Amino acid sequence: MAAGDRRLRDGARLKFFHGPMDCGKSTLALQMDYNHSRQGRQGLVLTRNDRSRRGEVTSRIGLRHDAVEVTDDLDLVALVRERWATGERLDYLICDEACFYTVAQVEQMADLVDVHDVDVFAFGLATDFRAELFPASRRLFELADEVSRLQVEVLCWCGREGTLNARVVNGVVAREGEQVVIGDTVEAGADEVRYQVLCRRHHRSGDLGPRPVRPPRP
Ligand SMILES: [Zn+2]
């Protein structure tokens, strides 16, 4: 490939968009898919642990799209090559909830970009309930061509910008536990687990405010 070749400048890209819960990541993911498909490109939407639990990406404002449910053993490169083998065209992947993917799958995203010229747009949380990076998000920070923090504002109850996700177990901010626990799954006799976006100050102090508000779930 000659220096100055257009593909060297305009080749595929790995982009990571991150932000706290409720900041509109899934909405942007579906908007991105729509924008690219309007340009005649074909993509595939993937997700893991979407709020619908049904192999689709759903957004809080009511958008939805069929999606491949990602599991630990899914090989993203093999997935794309299998689709290609059946004659399907794939120009890009939309990877929603990428914080829950494996580190190996982030490496596969880089391979898709570098070796197979497929754009990969990843969306997810940067940090977990302890304000520590998810392993896949850490790898995305390290490897992505472009990292963007989403600008949609989510406010803490105090009015400061909400940047961190607190896990609230039976009304108290949790400091220990499994990295991934799905919230809003109240079973008889089980702990009540939910998540609340807080500013750093109140995440650190564990102060949920005078009147914790449970956000509506669509
Ligand atoms: Zn606050």
Distance 158 CA to ligand 1 centre (A): 4
- Among 2-6, 26-30, 93-97, the range scoring the smallest mean pLDDT is 2-6
How many A from CA of 28 to the centre of ligand 1? 25
C-alpha–C-alpha distance, residues 155 and 176, integer Å: 24
User: Average pLDDT, stretch 192-199?
Assistant: 92
Average pLDDT over residues 13-26: 92
Q: How far is the CA of 179 from the centre of ligand 1 (A)?
A: 23
pLDDT of residue 1: 46
Q: What is the pLDDT at residue 130?
A: 96
Confidence of residue 211 (pLDDT cuts 50, 70, 90): low
The per-residue pLDDT of the chain, averaged, comes to 89
**Contact in structure between 155 and 116 (CB atoms under 8 Å):** no
| Residue 192 appears among annotated catalytic residues | no
Distance 199 CA to ligand 1 centre (A): 4
Of 28, 8, 209, residue with least CA distance to 123: 28
Please tell me the distance from the alpha carbon of residue 186 to that of residue 173, in angstroms, as a whole number: 17
Residue 171 C-alpha to ligand 1 middle, in angstroms? 16
- Burial state string for 143-162 with b = 16 or more CB within 10 A and e = fewer than 16: bbeebeebeeebebbeeeeb
Give the active site residue among 69, 97, 153, 161: 97
Q: Tens of pLDDT along 55-71?
A: 888 888 888 899 999 99
